[in-house]
Structure 1
């Protein structure tokens, strides 16, 4: 099956178009889009495939999809902006802003430690349900009361979903606004982009329908066989709230109820153009907006967590700043100065402050660790710039 690729690239960027086209090989149910902004100007805007294989709806230029953990990168921009404005301090205890968080020995956990996956809350000890995770107050109260899963100060473990509630509650405590509202007011509305943390009802029919490749299903099926407590597995399911793949045919992040809720560890919804535009605005004036200054970026992207996590896992390992995913063997960007966040199944958004680039790749065909789609596109971009 031949996939027709729509859009354009500027002269000299043709290798990116080729890499994007190659991403569809032998994936007839895949849809995706790619957008790259350099110096505030679009240099690549491509899309193709199907947004919903159930009815054949085609992927359009502005098709949004769930961006999974890329959402953490966007929430980290919010936190960094509050630090820049002097309203938040990475070195201050979380409990200074959120007193209940001091429970169970967490009184000295700093904002920076929470953002860099060192808070000991990578999974809930309690089994949460879908009803729980669409109830903001319920989830943050559970996490505030919880005893850490490991001795604090001894390492980090990726907070796959819980990161968003912890960071989002810090944002809410400082601003008095929900994380989705603050995101809209600070980023999405000024830039005029299709991006949400908590999808409004009027856009309910727009997101792509997501499907999971068999290798990724098999990977999680093997993980499920490990003895309890399997905290990395529970970090994805939260108990009984989500399928471990994060979606089923009609459930998880394919369900309207989940998309509507503010789940800032994984529930952001955006188009590729929105993703690239937002990351561009972090490092360069874009549509009249600059989100962070250079000093803030330098501070927020200092490595805080790296190497083997507390509960193990195979290398390569990611590196983390204050919520931002940094360039590493696990996620290569364009160089050491780049930062952003990737997301389950293949999503990638990042900024390059040196070259003033914003990058966004989104897809509804979820793949596992062998996924090279965005990696090959980034490699093509690297060869050009």
Structure 2
């Protein structure tokens, strides 16, 4: 039985809707949503499937879900806005804004290179707990004091979760607000969007319940079996703070203690419509708001990291600007020039400046390398725009 899909599709975009529907085949407990905006207007806004397989709660138009590392794209957008306003500079040392960051040879590493995963702080040297990671002030202090895992600037390693505390502290020092507060005041409140970095407790029951595919579970079980120190694995779990799959039936990102914390590396909560609207507003007026200008987009999307990371791993490899994931063989968008971020399990959000597109795809059924759901949607969309 195919999932019930609701929403709107503009004339000419039926192949994209068909590709979205195809993602539900053989995934009966899955929920997902897709939004594509062009010139600030939605041409596709679809949702369907199951938000919570435990209760058969249907996915609705306003169902938000964890967007995982798509959050890093939004956090990087907030930093880009501060660069545009002259409150931060990509080529300035991190320590210029955050003097406590200077120890252990980190005094000269630039803001841009830290955003591009070149700071050597991809994982904590200490084994952390949930109590540790929900304290943003403590986490920023830990990272500022930590000896890097490799000489800063000499290579890159994906800062899966630590990226969020680094960007969060930059935002706090530039604005006096937490990163979740700055997102709300600059973006989500003016645009009237359902997106948060730090979900309010009163909304704890709204997000979709997350599940993990068997293949992804097996992949992370293999990773967990590798000898320590396995720094890429530690980057995801932070020691004992998160499960290897990021979620369990009642743990990890399925809990409000994690969703309510301002985990700007992976803890964002959003609807697909909100995600697409944010990226649309980054590149074209949307609901009367334009978040970034062309000059800062050029600066922020200059490639800074590519190829094999310092701890190795199999390709294809991503490319990184100043926190933004760029078009690459590892994550195809619509063309070179697009920028955004994907997220664990199948989430995708990005902007296309040339076509003035904002894109958002979210799902609660997390898949691994076998996942083609967003890819087949993008393949269909590429033929139409």
- Is the TM-score greater than 0.5? yes
How do residues 155-166 of structure 1 correspond to structure 2 at under 5 angstroms?
A: 155-166=155-166
Aligned counterparts of 1:67 and 1:186: Cα–Cα separation in 2: 19
Deviations 1:83-140 (A, max 9, x none): 0000101111111111111111111111011100000000000011000011111111
Q: Secondary structure at the match of 1:44?
A: strand
TM-score by length of 1: 0.99
Aligned counterparts of 2:6 and 2:174: Cα–Cα separation in 1: 43
Deviations 1:42-86 (A, max 9, x none): 100111000000000000011000000000000001100000000
What corresponds to 1:206 in structure 2? 206
8 Å contact from structure 2 (residues 113, 153) kept in 1 = no
Indicate whether 1:46 and 2:46 are aligned.
yes
How far off its partner does 1:204 sit? Answer: 1.0
How far off its partner does 1:288 sit? Answer: 0.8
- Segments ≥4 residues shifted beyond 6 Å: none
How far off its partner does 1:152 sit? Answer: 2.2
What corresponds to 1:19 in structure 2? 19
What corresponds to 1:229 in structure 2? 229
Aligned counterparts of 1:324 and 1:5: Cα–Cα separation in 2: 31
What corresponds to 2:309 in structure 1? 309
What corresponds to 1:143 in structure 2? 143
Aligned counterparts of 2:31 and 2:14: Cα–Cα separation in 1: 20
Aligned counterparts of 2:247 and 2:296: Cα–Cα separation in 1: 35
What corresponds to 1:10 in structure 2? 10
What corresponds to 1:99 in structure 2? 99
| Matched pairs, number | 385
Aligned counterparts of 1:42 and 1:77: Cα–Cα separation in 2: 21
Aligned counterparts of 2:168 and 2:101: Cα–Cα separation in 1: 13
Aligned counterparts of 1:151 and 1:106: Cα–Cα separation in 2: 9
Q: Secondary structure at the match of 2:345?
A: helix
How far off its partner does 1:13 sit? Answer: 0.2
Q: Secondary structure at the match of 1:298?
A: helix
How far off its partner does 1:255 sit? Answer: 0.3
How do residues 267-346 of structure 1 correspond to structure 2 at under 5 angstroms?
A: 267-346=267-346
How far off its partner does 1:153 sit? Answer: 2.7
What corresponds to 1:73 in structure 2? 73
Deviations 1:336-374 (A, max 9, x none): 010000000000000000000000000000000121100
Deviations 1:184-228 (A, max 9, x none): 111111111000000012211100000000000000111111111
Gaps of 5+ in 2: none
Q: Secondary structure at the match of 2:25?
A: coil
RMSD across aligned positions (CA): 0.6
Q: Secondary structure at the match of 1:127?
A: coil
Q: Secondary structure at the match of 1:104?
A: coil
Aligned counterparts of 1:21 and 1:36: Cα–Cα separation in 2: 15
Deviations 1:275-319 (A, max 9, x none): 000000000000110000011111100100000000001000000
Q: Secondary structure at the match of 2:287?
A: coil
What corresponds to 1:111 in structure 2? 111
Q: Secondary structure at the match of 1:359?
A: strand
Q: Secondary structure at the match of 2:102?
A: helix
What corresponds to 2:179 in structure 1? 179
How far off its partner does 1:151 sit? Answer: 1.9
TM-score by length of 2: 0.99
